[in-house]
């Protein structure tokens, strides 16, 4: 696949700021599923070190609120400035996804890369915390690390080479996520599909020089990507 937007970022920056499989490629493929116009106000939920926020603000012309729990918003702001972005284009904030400080209907869209499975596994999350913040007709796009088929009662040894059963419980298949999201009224499931860039995104991640990437190598080298995928979810608020 081609990634003209992701490719505007140097490899060194991608490697330094990734917190999982190449967020830039995942984000670019995810955005390609929808048609969110420039000027839209977008929540980057669980934005991590700001790569996806910078991509959306710089390459798509969105006004991006980069909300994350673990990352330092001051560090993200410096990164946005290095990307040539102002605080009117990308707004970094520390926020818990279950207590987001925004008015109802504030966002035109939500994008969440490699994060929704931290808080969205509780099926009440979407209707209680996130959906009200999106205007009617607004879109929600999630790239969720998942499983081709849930097999938590029979976990393949290759997955256990890097992760515990508790960590693997954050990963589910499309059917599981469909059942989770279907419990929320007022939202249309426009599309749910496996993402094409998963293997490439993982290969980029494993080249990163950090302890988390190093820890994930054993499983992938043992064949984990036979069982894992990335699930793209596109929703529209009714």
Residues at the interface with ligand SAM (CB under 6 A): 18-20, 23, 46-48, 51-52, 68-71, 96-98, 113-115, 118-119
**Cα(152)–Cα(100) distance, rounded to whole angstroms?**
31
- Give whichever of 20 and 146 is closer to ligand SAM, judged by the CB atom: 20
- The least CB distance from residue 168 to ligand SAM, in Å, is 15
**Pick 46 or 146: Cβ nearer ligand SAM:** 46
The distance of closest approach from Cβ of residue 79 to ligand SAM in the complex, given in angstroms and rounded to an integer, is 12
- For residue 154, the minimal CB distance to ligand SAM (Å) is 26
Contact 20, 167 (CB under 8 A): no
Report, in Å, the least distance between residue 215 CB and ligand SAM.
Answer: 13
215 or 238: CB nearest ligand SAM: 215
Judged by beta carbon, residue 14 or residue 154, the one nearer ligand SAM is 14
Task: Tell me whether residue 71 or residue 184 sits nearer to ligand SAM (CB atom).
Answer: 71
Closest CA to 187 of 152, 135, 115: 135
Considering beta carbons, is residue 98 or 226 the nearer one to ligand SAM? Answer: 98
Long-range contacts, 82-91 (Cβ 8 Å, 24+)? 83/54, 83/57, 83/58, 84/58, 85/54, 85/57, 85/58, 88/63, 89/57, 89/58, 89/63, 89/64, 90/50, 90/53, 90/54, 90/57, 90/64, 90/66, 91/63, 91/64, 91/65, 91/66
Least gap, CB of 27 to ligand SAM (angstroms)? 8
In the complex, the smallest distance separating the C-beta of residue 113 from ligand SAM, rounded to whole angstroms, is 4
Residue 91 Cβ, how far from ligand SAM at the closest point, in Å?
15
Residue nearest to ligand SAM (CB): 48
Q: Which CB, 137 or 142, lies closer to ligand SAM?
A: 142
- 215-221 LR contacts (CB < 8 Å, sep 24+): 215/162, 216/162, 217/162, 218/161, 218/162, 219/158, 219/159, 219/160, 219/161, 219/162, 219/163, 220/162
Task: Please report the sign of the dihedral spanned by the C-alpha atoms of residue 81, residue 84, residue 89, residue 90.
Answer: negative
């Amino acid at each position: 696949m081609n990634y003209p937007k992701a490719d505007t970022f140097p490899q060194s920056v991608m490697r330094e700021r990734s917190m999982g499989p190449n967020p830039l490629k995942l984000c670019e493929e995810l955005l390609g599923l929808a048609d969110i116009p420039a000027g839209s106000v977008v929540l980057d939920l669980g934005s991590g070190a700001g790569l996806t926020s910078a991509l959306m603000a710089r390459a798509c012309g969105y006004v991006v609120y980069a909300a994350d729990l673990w990352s330092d918003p001051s560090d993200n702001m410096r990164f946005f400035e290095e990307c040539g972005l102002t605080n009117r284009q990308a707004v970094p904030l520390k926020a818990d996804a279950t207590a987001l400080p925004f008015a109802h209907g504030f966002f035109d869209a939500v994008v969440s890369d490699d994060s929704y499975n931290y808080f969205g596994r509780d099926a009440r999350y979407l209707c209680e915390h996130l959906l009200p913040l999106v205007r009617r007709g607004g879109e929600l796009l999630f790239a969720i690390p998942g499983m081709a088929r849930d097999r938590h009662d029979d976990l393949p040894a290759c997955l256990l080479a890097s992760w515990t059963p508790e960590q693997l419980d954050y990963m589910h298949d499309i059917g599981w996520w469909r059942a989770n999201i279907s419990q929320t009224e007022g939202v249309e499931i426009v599309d749910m599909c496996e993402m094409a860039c998963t293997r490439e995104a993982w290969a980029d991640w494993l080249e990163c020089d950090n302890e988390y990437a190093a820890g994930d190598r054993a499983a992938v080298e043992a064949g984990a990507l036979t069982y894992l995928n990335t699930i793209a979810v596109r929703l529209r608020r009714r």
